Structure 1
Amino acid sequence: MLLVRAIESEDPDGAVLTREDRQFATGAALSERPLGERDDPRETARFLHRRSELALERLLSRFPALRRACGLSRWPSWLNWAVPLLALAAGLISHRLDGDRLNILAFPLLGMLAWNLLVYGWLLVGALRRATGRQTDLAGHPLLQLLERLGGPAATRLAAQPTLERGVARFVRDWGRAAGALTRYRASRTLHLGAALFAVGVIAGLLIRARYTAEYRAGWAGTWAGAEGEVATFLQFILGPASWLTGIGLPDAERLRALRGGGENAGDWLILWAVTATLFVIGPRLLLAAWNAVEAAVLKRRVPVPGAEDFYVRSLLRNALGRPGLARVVSYGFQPSPAARERLTRLLGAALGEKVRVEVDEPVPYGAEERWLAAEGRRLGGADQLVLLFAMASTPEAENHGAFARGIRDALLGGGTGLTLLIDDSSFRERLRGQASASRRLDERAAAWRGVLAPVGIAPVVIGLELGEDEVSARTLEKALMRSPVPA
């Protein structure tokens, strides 16, 4: 569905997926998956899924290269066994880095343990950040960046069709956001399993070497001469739990001095390190792999896809059922000119569909936001789309403009009305016409507006209702409507 949604959104003129194709997909889906008068999320999901299948069939028949884009939504299952097997192989041969005897203070044993403790600390920090709400957005996550890079060739292959190229690029971004958590859990499952098998390989490699060596000895070396007491304390900290479980004693300073020479039989040390690796690496990593596997299995059935809260879906359902829609425009603190009102009405009609009725309210006076919200707040949810219009020429104030926007957002919570914030820069541009600092002042004022409206959680869009070309303004408005959320 996300792929069809992305292509349709980037193809408003029907150049790639024609209007006849869309009507056919909608009609056929309705006949197979009818929608009732009452909104049922399950019926809606089945209808949207079937319609997307029918639309995609037509797209693939004309543009076979789209199959690569479809494959981007599938987790590469070969990674599930390739990564763990490579990790196991790396662990098996890692003992060759340790020389002819087991160095109890060298890589890979201490290095493996230190790396895993570092990973556990990182996971704990991430869990605390998510628990405190400081990290909820996956934007910028390395896995999602990798997904976008993988999607680059698929989009580039369609360069002869710029609309499809934009659609695929958009799909990759949308899919990354929708399935980001699922991808993270799948990758974490595979990496944790790989880490566990690397530790198994390390221990197995040492045991195999000991089995086929006449006398495999253990000792230590390095720049620790004279610090045997500190080394004994360190080993007690690292290998103490394994010593307690197995009953194998750890060396004191005197015994450690002897170990710097010829060493001793490595049998007890292999047991101590095998138990330690099981306690601190193999066991925890297998538990983490299992937990991430369960989370991935659950999320696989719950990948969030747009529903009735999405502008695209609402428009689709409205057109499919022949329901007239309502878009309501509320301006605050200024009176849009008749030309601006007429143009905004026309642009909204073009973006939302001919069946949508556009109502432009009388402006809300500056300072009267509380009184207006008390009188109109309950009626706001009757619209499919609510557009809150500000003038860039006004100085943005958090206690007025910001409070009004937050009040409208709160009044729409839990409903199905989309909220869009528009800032008309026409009069401000006209005021700055001919001034050398016009561009800088426009940027500064736009930044000030974004700062005041940031607590609303909806990014405002700047549009010129009395200036600029209709096509550019329509494109800007459509993008704003496409990303306008329904407060939940």
Structure 2
Amino acid sequence: MKEQAARAVLLVKAVEEADQAREVLTEDDRKYATRTARELADWDASERKAAATFPSFLEARAEQILKRLGARHPAFGTFAQRHSGAAWVLGWFLPLAGFLLGVGADRIADPEHVDLLSLPLLLIILWNVLVYVAIVVWALLPKRGERLFRSRWVRRVSVGKGGIPRRLPYSLSAAMLEFVGQWTRISMSLNAARVARALHLSAAALAVGAIVSLYSRGVLTRYSAGWESTFLDAHDVYTALSWLFGPVIALFNLQGFSAAEIATLQFGLDANAQTLADNGARWVHLYAGALILYVVVPRVSLAIPAAFRAWRLKRRFPLDLDQPYFRKLSQAAGGEAGVLRVVPYSFSVDENRSKSLESVAVEQLGDRAHLRLLAPVPYGVDAAATLHEQGSSGAPTVTALLFSMGATPEKENHGAAIDALVAEGGEGATVLLDQSALVRLDAARLRERVELWREFCIFHGAQPFVVDLLAPPDKLRESA
């Protein structure tokens, strides 16, 4: 699935999950979009003489829903079609700005000479060396690098500049806020690749601009090369330039220099005027070679894999289709019926709660979904081993741990069980929280207990769903 299609699908997902009361998107709207999308996907598949795919169904369905919502709420339609503009800024503006800055940098600093200690050129090289060191550090500390990308400007790269439109139904505004957070998170890898590509190309363009400036001025101007310093003598300058230009001389087979020659190139010495005038071209070649070796080649080498990652992620966006929302739509698209495998933890499920769990399975995975209720995991028992043993009987569609919120969450027991579930099922791990044992609590204390459990589950990497397994079917799901 391409990036724009994934963005539309995720936005529709946020709307449908936020609009539980069917206020902005009725049940008829959803059924019509599903039926139309199935027909469009089948028609497209027949045109391509291939089987219809689930991603194409999701893309067509999202398009139908967004058109309908955009017609009813123009502000939402504008938001749905918003583009961040990052492709133009990152792809063209920054590299062009870097090139122009490189063209002007050395010209502004010293328009008449080739300064052996040219501050702009040395800063370009030094800055890039520091960046290479930072890249190595980031590679060793990936989590730190990821946190550094989580900033407002990266959010703008993801969803564009501007806030949530006002004067929209509450559920629609809530959906848009949820979408912004989710899209920023799951598009982080794509936008990080885009930013890396742009920064590397801009740095390379800066160096290329400086090279172009050196050679273009040399066509119409006769360079005089030399150096001057208050604190460095000829030996210090020779040592520094030997470190800087040694690899360049060896790689490009350029003419070298000696300590005595460096001593004669100091600005302000009347005896070396002819020497200064005759050495300009050699030092232009040396600085151009240094910029190519230390900046252009490494930066382009780093930009190529970043560009490939961005291209690949844009064409094959990593949208997780194993979530319950997509599992439920898979049935509507003609897929197999899902199975909700429920593993109670230190919790005996009676007949009434078992029937309610069947309704949860339908809500999570569609009308044809089935429930498979497994034996409870005893309190204090290693949940990892239990989940692994019970999983050997077959691969379920979704595995969910069931907790009673009458218990207090404990890291070493409930937390360990959730960790085992996450290790078994990945990021889509689901936890059902039954609040039926808390009917005697007042509303304030009930909210506190719900938030306690929700935060506990999210901390351990699972998605919590709060249900009341003794409530009537229309009030089964209290919150999510």
Which of the five TM-score ranges fits, normalised by the shorter chain? Answer: 0.7 to 0.9
Give the whole-Å Cα distance in 1 for the aligned partners of 2:51 and 2:140: 34
The structure-2 alpha-carbon separation of the partners of 1:462 and 1:434, relative to structure 1 and needing over 3 Å to count, comes to same
**1:356-391 Cα deviation digits (max 9, x unpaired):** 555655533235557855763334734544233265
Closer, same or farther: CA 443–278 of 1 in aligned 2, 3 Å: same
Partner of 2:342: 329
Cα-to-partner distance string for 1:32-61 (whole Å, 9 max, x where unaligned): 33499xxx9962122222222222222232
**Contact preservation (8 Å) 1:333, 1:364:** yes
What are the Cα deviations for residues 243-281 of structure 1, in whole angstroms up to 9, with x where unaligned? 333442224167336514247233221111011111221
Map of 1:276 onto structure 2? 290
Aligned partner of 2:315 in structure 1 is 301
Match of 1:114 among 120, 126, 133: 126
User: Is the Cα contact below 8 Å between 1:390 and 1:423 reproduced in 2?
Assistant: yes
The equivalent residue for 1:483 is none
CA contact (8 A) 2:193 2:307 kept: yes
Preserved CA contact (<8 Å) 1:235 1:250: no
AA of the residue aligned to 2:293: L
Checking the alignment, whether the CA contact within 8 Å between 1:425 and 1:462 is kept in structure 2 is no
Query: Could you tell me which residue of structure 2 aligns to residue 481 of structure 1?
Result: none
User: Displacement of 1:157 after TM fit?
Assistant: 1.9
1:237 aligns with 2:207: no
Corresponding residue for residue 462 of structure 2: 459
Q: Deviations over 1:85-139 (max 9, x none)?
A: 221211111124424533322321100000111122222333455xxxx549946
Secondary structure, counterpart of 2:60 in structure 1: helix
**How high is the sequence identity, in percent, across the aligned residues?**
29
Aligned residue among 81, 101, 109 for 1:90: 101
Aligned partners of 2:388, 2:360: CA distance in 1, in Å?
30
Aligned residues: 455
Aligned residue in 1 for 2:10: 2
Query: Structure 1 residues 58, 312: closer, same or farther in 2, change over 3 A?
Result: same
| 1:170 aligned onto 2:182 | no
Alignment of 1:346-385 (within 5 A): 356=369, 363-369=376-382, 373=387, 376-379=390-393, 381-382=395-396, 384-385=398-399
CA–CA distance in 2 between the matches of 1:430 and 1:423? 17
Distance, in Å, in 1 between the alignment partners of 2:433 and 2:97 is: 55
Match of 2:5 in 1: none
Distance of aligned partners of 1:388 and 1:138 in 2 relative to their CA distance in 1, 3 Å threshold? farther
Following superposition, the deviation at residue 142 of structure 1 comes to 4.7
Name the aligned partner's letter for residue 117 of structure 1: V
Match in the other structure for 2:300: 286
Worse overlay, 459-468 or 317-326: 459-468
Unaligned 5+ segments in structure 2 are 1-8
TM-score normalised by L of structure 2: 0.76
RMSD: 4.5
The equivalent of 1:24 in structure 2 is: 32
Q: Gaps spanning 5+ residues in structure 1: where?
A: 478-488
Tell me, what secondary structure is at the counterpart of 1:243?
Answer: helix
Superposition TM-score, scaled by structure 1 size? 0.75
- Partner residue of 1:388 out of 395, 398, 402: 402
Q: 1:20 to 1:297 in 2, by over 3 A?
A: same
**Alpha-carbon distance in 2 for matches of 1:96, 1:365:** 76
Do the aligned residues in 2 keep the contact of 1:333 with 1:366 (CA within 8 Å)?
A: yes
**Counterpart among 113, 122, 138 of residue 101 in structure 1:** 113
Q: 2:59 aligns with which of 43, 49, 72?
A: 49
Cα separation, 1, equivalents of 2:179 and 2:135: 30
Q: Is the 8 A contact 1:423 1:460 kept in 2?
A: no
CA distance in 1 between counterparts of 2:187 and 2:388 reads 40
Task: Find the aligned partners of 2:166 and 2:443 in 1 and give their Cα distance.
Answer: 41
Cα distance in 1 between the residues matched to 2:191 and 2:319: 15
Deviates more, 1:376-385 or 1:92-101: 376-385
* TM-superposed deviation, 1:13: 2.3
Distance 1:335 1:273, change over 3 A: same
Map Cα deviations across residues 368-416 of structure 1 (whole Å, 9 max, x no partner): 5578557633347345442332657357363x54554455556658xxx
Residue type of the alignment partner of 2:174: R
The 2-side partners of 1:145 and 1:340 are apart by: 48
In the alignment, is the contact (CA less than 8 A) between 2:345 and 2:401 conserved in 1? no
| Per-residue CA distance 1:155-178 (angstroms, 9 max, x = gap) | 522442333333333333333334
- Mapped partners of 2:463, 2:368: distance in 1: 26
In the alignment, the residues of structure 2 paired with residue 204 and residue 332 of structure 1 have an alpha-carbon distance, to the nearest angstrom, of 70
**Alpha-carbon deviations, 1:306-343, whole Å to 9, x = none?**
32x12111111234549765434332224479998787
Confirm or deny: 8 A CA contact 2:406 2:435 kept in the other structure.
yes
Contact 1:83 1:190 in 2 (8 A): yes
Give me the whole-angstrom Cα distance separating, in 2, the residues matched to 1:305 and 1:42.
18
